[in-house]
C-alpha cells in the first residue's frame, strides 16, 4: 500500500482523553493516515454519518455514549474495522468488546508501535476483503452454506448472512478447506497474521458469532463443528 493510497485512508479516533487522541494522531500521521477525531460515542457516530472512514479506534469508557454501545450502533449499518482501547486488561472487557462486533483490542497504556501494527493488520484484512479486482467466480459451497469470494456474500439456504470481515475470513478459511481441522492457534495465525498468544477467547468468541449467524441451532451446529481438544472444521457436505 503506497503513501498515496494511505492518504485516502481515514481513521476515526475516539477517546474522551484529548491527549491520547492527539498522541494517536501523531503516530498515524507519521504512517501517512488521515485522522478524524471524536471525544465521545455520539460524536463518533456523527463523523461516521458524514465521512468515509476505513477504521475506528474507540475507547470503551466514555461519557454520553461509551465505546461498547457506540460499536453496537456502528455495527447496525457498517462493517468498518473497530479497535477498542481500554484501560482494563480484564478478559471480560475484551470478550464484551468482541461480542458486540469489535475486531481487535489494545490495552492502555499501549505501545505506539503495537497500535500502528494492529491498525495496519486490520486495514489489510478489510481492504483485501473489499477489493474488487477479483477475476474468477469463486463460489464455495458446503451444503446449504454458500460463500461467493468475489462479492464476499454469504448465504445459508438462500438467505443472506451479514458477517464482519473477521468472521468472513474465519469461515472462508474453514469452508475453503472443508473437512480439515484447524486449531485455535492456526485460525488465529491465518487470520491475524501474527503469533497466537492467548488467542483462545478471541477465536472462540468469533466462532460463536459465526454459529449464531449461520446455524439454525448453534448448540447443534450443522456446518461449523468443534473437534474437542483439537480445533474447528466445516464438515464436507
**Residue-range definition of the domain harbouring residue 178:** 139-234
* 56 within 8 A of 99, measured Cβ to Cβ: no
Statement to judge: residues 53 and 153 lie in one domain: no
Cis peptide before 109 (omega within 30 of 0): yes
CATH of the domain at 110: 3.40.50.2300
- Tens-digit pLDDT profile for residues 3-13: 444 447 899 99
Instruction: Return all residues near 187 (Cβ < 8 A) that are at least 6 apart.
Output: 170, 173, 199, 203, 231, 232
- Tens-digit pLDDT profile for residues 100-153: 778 888 888 888 988 998 898 888 777 655 543 333 346 788 878 888 887 788
Which range has the worst mean pLDDT, 16-20, 76-80, 160-164, 207-211?
A: 76-80
DSSP 3-state assignment of 76? coil
* 104 within 8 A of 83, measured Cβ to Cβ: yes
- Among the candidates 130, 161, 189, a domain finishes at 130
* 237 within 8 A of 168, measured Cβ to Cβ: no
- Among the candidates 73, 106, 130, a domain finishes at 130
CATH of the domain at 208: 1.10.10.10
Statement to judge: residues 29 and 93 lie in one domain: yes
Q: How far apart are CA 200 and CA 188, in angstroms?
A: 9
pLDDT band at 219 (very low <50, low <70, confident <90, very high): confident
Q: Domain tally for the chain?
A: 2
- Among the candidates 130, 156, 188, a domain finishes at 130
Statement to judge: residues 115 and 197 lie in one domain: no
Amino acid at each position: 500500500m503506497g503513501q498515496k493510497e494511505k492518504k485516502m485512508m481515514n481513521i476515526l479516533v475516539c477517546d474522551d482523553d484529548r491527549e491520547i487522541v492527539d498522541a494517536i494522531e501523531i503516530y498515524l500521521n507519521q504512517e501517512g493516515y488521515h485522522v478524524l477525531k471524536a471525544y465521545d460515542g455520539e460524536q463518533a457516530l456523527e463523523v461516521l454519518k458524514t465521512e468515509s472512514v476505513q477504521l475506528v479506534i474507540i475507547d470503551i469508557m466514555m461519557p454520553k455514549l461509551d465505546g461498547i454501545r457506540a460499536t453496537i450502533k456502528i455495527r447496525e449499518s457498517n462493517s468498518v474495522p473497530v479497535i477498542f482501547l481500554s484501560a482494563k486488561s480484564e478478559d471480560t472487557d475484551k470478550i464484551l468488546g468482541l461480542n458486540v462486533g469489535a475486531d481487535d483490542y489494545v490495552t492502555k497504556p499501549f505501545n505506539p508501535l503495537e497500535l500502528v501494527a494492529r491498525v495496519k493488520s486490520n486495514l489489510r484484512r478489510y481492504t483485501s476483503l473489499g477489493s474488487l479486482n477479483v477475476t474468477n467466480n469463486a463460489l464455495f459451497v458446503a451444503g446449504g452454506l454458500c460463500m461467493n469470494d468475489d462479492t464476499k456474500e454469504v448465504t445459508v439456504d438462500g438467505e443472506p448472512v451479514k458477517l464482519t470481515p473477521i468472521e468472513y475470513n474465519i469461515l472462508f478459511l474453514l469452508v475453503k478447506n472443508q473437512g480439515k481441522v484447524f486449531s485455535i492457534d492456526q485460525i488465529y495465525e491465518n487470520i491475524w497474521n501474527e503469533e497466537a498468544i492467548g488467542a483462545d477467547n478471541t477465536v472462540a468468541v468469533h466462532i460463536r458469532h459465526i454459529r449464531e449467524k449461520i446455524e439454525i441451532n448453534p448448540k447443534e451446529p450443522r456446518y461449523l463443528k468443534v473437534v474437542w481438544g483439537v480445533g474447528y472444521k466445516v464438515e464436507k457436505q
